[in-house]
Amino acid sequence: MYKIAHISDLHVNFNDEDGHGSNLIDLLSDIRDRNCDHVLVTGDIAENPDIQDFLYVRELFSHFDLLSSSGMSVIPGNHDIFGGAPGGTEFFRFPLMCKKINYDEKLDQFIDLFKETFANNKSFPYLKIINNIAIVGINSVDRWSAKNNPEGSNGRIDHSSFVKLKTILSSKEIKDKYIIVLIHHHFNKPENDNEYPAHSLWLKVVNYKMKLYGRKKITELFRKYKVNLVLHGHTHINEIYVSKKTSVINSSACSIPITDDMIRKYNIINIPGADDPEKIITVETILI
């Protein structure tokens, strides 16, 4: 059995005034104590794409011996490219700040900072084979647009990346492998949730800037090529659901839950090995 820890939306900054770095240390300590073999991080690793924030996160990952292709797989979230909105009266300037971001430069910075975790091609989408598992990493952060992405937080897989993704999923290399896709943006539509009424209302209110464009086309691709699991973050809640017959796991409440109960959670995914009699993937939800 191969144990994979899925975490997301860490939002670490260098000063750590909000304690997100301390939360990450607690989280990684728990993952280590549970003897996980690999860690998957589905974006928003840093609060802002400042080099000192990323270097601080690298130091924490390095402390837990995770900065390697066998130890960790990462993808960017919108905060890793565009950052987060400032507080106070400066909030209204955020769309202009996003407009001025050099998207390609920030994406290249992200790849370079976590280059040890990539297998071969240091770009997105990527494929990483570990034992009988195919990990497919996608960059779903959309480019800035006044109409479609004014705050940099909406998602999209551009045409070129979609074609590459289709090539990966249809390749003989991953035939008979357990396929796990990493993407930052979510697939479920905002709905009333009796267990988390405040969170579901918040998600409805901010849905205009939390979208994944082309969601139907993407889920159809996953269904066609029998993707076993899609892992994401973005919404700061822990949940497991099904989209177009594909199982989806969200671990974005692992560090900063925006939920009614404010409980930190993440998921551990158990992948059967070639010699395991049981061939069923199991998921454990861990409370921090």
In sequence order, what DSSP letters do the residues of 71-138 get, joined into one string? TEEEE--HHHHT----SGGGGGGHHHHHHTS-HHHHHHHHHHHTGGG--S--SSSEEEEETTEEEEE-
**Mean pLDDT throughout 227-234?**
98
The confidence score (pLDDT) of residue 7 equals 98
The confidence score (pLDDT) of residue 119 equals 86
Report the percent of the chain where pLDDT is more than 70: 100
pLDDT tops 80 at residue 180: yes
**Mean pLDDT throughout 166-186?**
97
HSE-CB of 157 using CA atoms within 13 angstroms:
23
Q: Which domain holds residue 256?
A: 2-287
pLDDT tops 90 at residue 30: yes
Of these ranges, 27-41, 115-129, 188-202, the one predicted with the greatest mean pLDDT is 27-41
The confidence score (pLDDT) of residue 221 equals 98
Helix (H) or strand (E) holding 204: helix 197-205
Residue 26, classed as helix, strand or coil, is helix
**Mean pLDDT throughout 188-211?**
91
CATH number, domain at 178?
3.60.21.10
The confidence score (pLDDT) of residue 275 equals 81
Tell me which DSSP letter residue 173 carries. Answer: G
pLDDT digit string (tens) for 35-81? 999 999 999 999 999 999 999 999 999 999 999 999 999 999 999 99
Residues 6+ apart with CB under 8 A from 189: none
pLDDT digit string (tens) for 15-29? 988 999 999 999 999
The confidence score (pLDDT) of residue 14 equals 93
The confidence score (pLDDT) of residue 194 equals 85
Helix (H) or strand (E) holding 163: helix 159-169
The terminus-to-terminus CA distance of the chain in angstroms comes to: 23
**Mean pLDDT throughout 240-251?**
95
pLDDT tops 90 at residue 242: yes
**Mean pLDDT throughout 146-152?**
97
Between 190 and 254, whose confidence is greater? 254
pLDDT tops 90 at residue 193: no
pLDDT averaged over every residue in the chain: 95
Q: Do residues 124 and 161 lie in contact, with contact meaning Cβ atoms separated by under 8 Å? A: yes
Number of domain units in the chain: 1
Q: Give the Cα-Cα-Cα angle 155, 243, 163 (nearest 5 degrees).
A: 50
pLDDT tops 80 at residue 121: no
